[in-house]
Amino acid sequence: MDSGSVQSVRRSSQLARNFCAAILAISIVWLASATAFPADEMTSTIIIGNSRIDVNIEQGAMQSSKEDLMKWVRWAAESVTAYYGRFPVPQLLLRIVPSDGKGVRGGRTFGRDNGGFITIHIGKDAQFSDLARDWMLTHEMVHLSFPSVADNHHWIEEGIATYVEPIARVRARHFDANQMWFEVMRDLHQGLPAEGDEGLDHTHTWGRTYWGGALFCFLADIEIHRETGNKKGLQDALRGILNAGGDISHDWELEKALTIGDQATGAPVLQNLYTKMKDQPYNVDLPALWTQLGIERDGNAVKFLDAAPLAKTRDAITYGSAGPTLKPAASALHGSAIFAGHTTTRFPPDKSSD
C-alpha cells in the first residue's frame, strides 16, 4: 500500500465534498452514463453466502486478466464478510472501469433498494500484484455496511471504512497484521484535532473526516473491549447496526445507529464518545496508547509487546474472538462461486459515499 496514493485519493474525495453542489449536478449526468451499460460488456457473478455480486467489466485494454479481477473482487468480498459475519447487502453491482495508469485509481459506493452499487477505476497497466495489495475495493464494500447519515456526520461513514478495511483484510488473511498496525500507527495521527477544530460534526477537513472518523472507531474499539473484558468490540456494535437493517440503502439518524450499536455491546461507548467528539476538539495521547497496546515501531514494521497492559485488547481488535490463531478465509466459511455470462444491467443508484 502506498501512503502517498492513499492520501491523494482520499483527499481528492474530500475536496469533491467541498463543492458538493457542483458535484451533485455532475453526478446526475455521470450516473446517467454510469448506469447505461452496453450490452456487450462482460458481467460475471460472485455468490458469497446469501449475497450476489454482479461484476461488470467495462470494455477497454487492461493488463489484468478477467480472472485476476474476479479474484480481487472475491478477496475484498471475503474480507468484509469475515468482519461482518456476512456480506453486508443481498445484491451488489460492481462496475470496473479501465483508466490510465497503474493500480486501483479510486471508487465510489451508492445505496439502492436491496443493495448497492460500486464503481471503481483500475489503471490499464495494473498487474495482479497491484490488485492483491489494494485496499480501495474493501473500503468501498465496508461502506455498504452502514446506513446513510446526514452530511455533517460524513466522518463516521469514512471513519468506519478507513478503520475497518485493514482489519477486515487481516481477518480474511488477505493482509498482514504487522503491516496493518504499522500503517495505523503511521497514519492515525492525521485524525487528531488541529488548532481551531470544532469537533467531528463541524470540521470537515480531509484529515478529520477520514482519520478523525477512524480515530473515533479506534477509541471506541479499545473502550468497548475495556468495558466488556475483551468479550466485545466495535465489530459487535457494527454487526448490530447492520443486522438491525442499517445498511447503505437506508437513511438513518446517526444517534439511532449509535444507540443500536451500544445495545449490541451492552456498553454506551459510542454515544458517550460521540458526545465528547462531535462539537469540540478531543485530544488523544496516541503515543501513550501505542505503549499500552504494546505496539512499538521497528523500522518498516512494528514489534508486539505481550507484557503491555492492553496486549490482549490489541489481539482482540486484530483477530476478533478467535484470538491470534488465524481464522480460515471467509470463502471457506461461507462458500463462494463465480459465474460468467453476458448481460445488460440497469441499476439506479440513489445514495453515494466516496
Among 68, 78, 134, 354, binds Zn ion (CB under 5 A): 354
- Which region, judged by CB under 5 A, interacts with Zn ion, from 29-37, 146-154, 156-164, 222-230? 156-164
Cβ proximity to Zn ion, 58 vs 354, nearer residue: 354
Determine contact, residues 345/43, Cβ cutoff 8 Å. yes
Among 141, 161, 200, 329, binds Zn ion (CB under 5 A): 161
Decide whether 17 or 66 has the Cβ nearer to Zn ion: 17
201 versus 354: smaller Cβ distance to Zn ion:
354
Interacting stretch for Zn ion, rule CB under 5 A, among 29-37, 119-127, 159-167, 304-312? Answer: 159-167
Given the complex with Zn ion, which of 81 and 109 has the nearer CB atom? 109
Smallest distance from the beta carbon of 136 to Zn ion, in angstroms?
9
Q: What's the closest the beta carbon of residue 310 comes to Zn ion, in angstroms?
A: 28
> Which residue number, 82 or 161, has a Cβ lying nearer to Zn ion?
161
Cell of 101: 495508469
**Nearest-approach distance from CB 227 to Zn ion, in angstroms:** 28
Cβ(335)–Cβ(46) below 8 Å: no
C-beta closer to Zn ion: residue 107 or 123? 107
CB of 354 to Zn ion, least distance (A): 4
| Number of residues located near Zn ion, criterion CB under 5 A | 3
According to CB under 5 A, which residues from 84 to 143 bind Zn ion?
A: none
Gyration radius of the chain's alpha carbons: 19
Which residues, in sequence order, are CB contacts of 130 under 8 Å at separation 6+?
Answer: 102, 103, 104, 123
Q: How far is the CB of 14 from Zn ion (least distance, A)?
A: 10
Shortest distance, CB of residue 83 to Zn ion, whole angstroms?
16
From 128-136, 152-160, 174-182, 338-346, span contacting Zn ion (CB under 5 A): 152-160
Find the part of the chain contacting Zn ion (CB under 5 A) among 150-158, 213-221, 224-232, 301-309.
Answer: 150-158
Residue 243: CB atoms within 10 Å: 14
Nearer to Zn ion, 247 or 354 (CB): 354
Tell me the closest approach of the beta carbon of residue 207 to Zn ion, in angstroms.
Answer: 14
Nearer to Zn ion, 248 or 316 (CB): 248
- Residues in touch with Zn ion (CB under 5 A): 158, 161, 354
